[in-house]
């Protein structure tokens, strides 16, 4: 049978079927799904399974270990198949989907172009900002925050390739030398674990060596202050990591992933870090210019439509 996504867990019958799929959830599973549903409903945006996992761990609903995570993945998959959870509340940011590109007519193209016109948000800003993260799964969340500021987003997916570092060094040098930026900033977001701390160190060392210029590089998150402030759930750091000994000496043997930060908190942290180097007055004047130019473009598009006549 099909079960409505709004049906309370306690009304779920013993066996559900979805295209030949059978599942008999236990009372414990139904109780866990109730908690998951509460968190998903309260979230302002869809969550990854890993983000939901850390919210459940932080709420002391489930333990923080690999088996617990794997069990949750299986449970959430089953629950969505029988509509016990709303599939629109989930997002997978680690896998890309592309489609065909084109327009239905010249008129549709002109309309889209005129409405989409925008100035680069950081035109005229005296400080240049790049936001780097090792976490591909969180790149969309971070990207949505930094986009209005025109900050460059770099997603390294772990250790950054030398090619990416060289390209970044060229951008930094161009901003410092050619455009005479007052300051250049690299704001880093990664895990608080042996590799996460070392990735940040490597980026800093390589960028200094490549550019020979002075710039600000800072790990904004994740750090011990944020972990303590938001009571983020730790897990044992990987002893198999070759950087474990150094991490243990500096921070102890507990690690926390960036995904453990609640999505709204992560957004606030990213936004606050960027706005430290942002002049809102300059941006306001730029937006006024943009609006005037967009109006001019709309008038030009309307003139073209009139000359072409009915489509």
Better-scored residue on pLDDT, 279 or 303: 279
CATH number of 126-278: 3.40.1360.10
Say what the pLDDT of residue 212 is: 78
- The Cα-based distances of 195 to 142, 243, 246, 272 in angstroms read 20, 7, 10, 25
Q: How many other β-carbons are positioned within 10 Å of the β-carbon of residue 29?
A: 19
3-state secondary structure of 192: strand
Say what the pLDDT of residue 21 is: 59
Say what the pLDDT of residue 310 is: 67
The 10 Å CB-count burial string (b at 16+, else e) for 223-249 is eeebbeebebbbbebeeeeebbeebee
- The Cα-based distances of 306 to 62, 106, 107, 303 in angstroms read 64, 13, 11, 5
Residue 136, pLDDT above cutoff 90: no
Whole-prediction pTM = 0.71
Tokens of 306: 């009139």
H or E element in which residue 213 lies = none
Q: Cite the residue boundaries of each domain of the chain with CATH code 3.40.1360.10.
A: 126-278
3-state secondary structure of 61: coil
Q: Which of 94, 121, 72, 89 is nearest to 285 (CA)?
A: 121
* pLDDT tens column, 28-57: 999 999 999 999 998 888 888 988 998 898
Average pLDDT, the chain: 86
């Amino acid at each position: 049978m099909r079960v409505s996504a709004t049906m309370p867990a306690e009304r779920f019958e013993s066996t559900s079927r979805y295209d030949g799929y059978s599942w008999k959830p236990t009372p414990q599973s139904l109780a866990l799904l109730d908690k998951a549903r509460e968190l998903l409903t309260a979230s302002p945006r869809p969550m990854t399974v890993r983000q939901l996992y850390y919210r459940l761990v932080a709420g002391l609903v489930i333990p923080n270990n690999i088996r617990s995570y794997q069990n949750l993945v299986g449970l959430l998959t089953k629950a969505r198949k029988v509509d016990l959870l709303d599939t629109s509340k989930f997002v997978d940011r680690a896998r890309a989907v592309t489609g065909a590109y084109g327009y239905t007519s010249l008129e549709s193209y002109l309309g889209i172009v005129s409405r989409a016109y925008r100035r680069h948000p950081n035109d005229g800003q005296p400080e240049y900002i790049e936001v780097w993260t090792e976490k591909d799964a969180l790149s969309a969340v971070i990207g949505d925050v930094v986009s209005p500021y025109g900050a460059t987003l770099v997603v390294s997916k772990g250790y950054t390739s030398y090619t990416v570092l060289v390209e970044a060094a060229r951008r930094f040098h161009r901003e410092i030398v050619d455009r005479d930026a007052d300051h250049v900033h690299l704001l880093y977001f990664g895990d608080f674990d042996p590799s996460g701390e070392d990735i940040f160190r490597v980026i800093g060392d390589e960028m200094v060596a490549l550019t020979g210029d002075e710039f600000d590089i800072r790990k904004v998150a994740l750090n011990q202050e944020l972990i303590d402030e938001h009571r983020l759930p730790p897990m044992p750091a990987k002893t198999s990591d070759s950087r474990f000994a150094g991490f243990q000496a500096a921070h102890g043997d507990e690690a926390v992933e960036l995904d453990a930060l609640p999505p709204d908190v992560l957004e606030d942290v990213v936004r606050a870090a960027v706005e430290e180097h942002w002049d809102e007055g300059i941006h306001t004047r730029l937006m006024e210019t943009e609006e005037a130019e967009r109006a001019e473009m709309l008038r030009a598009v309307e003139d073209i439509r009139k000359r072409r006549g009915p489509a």
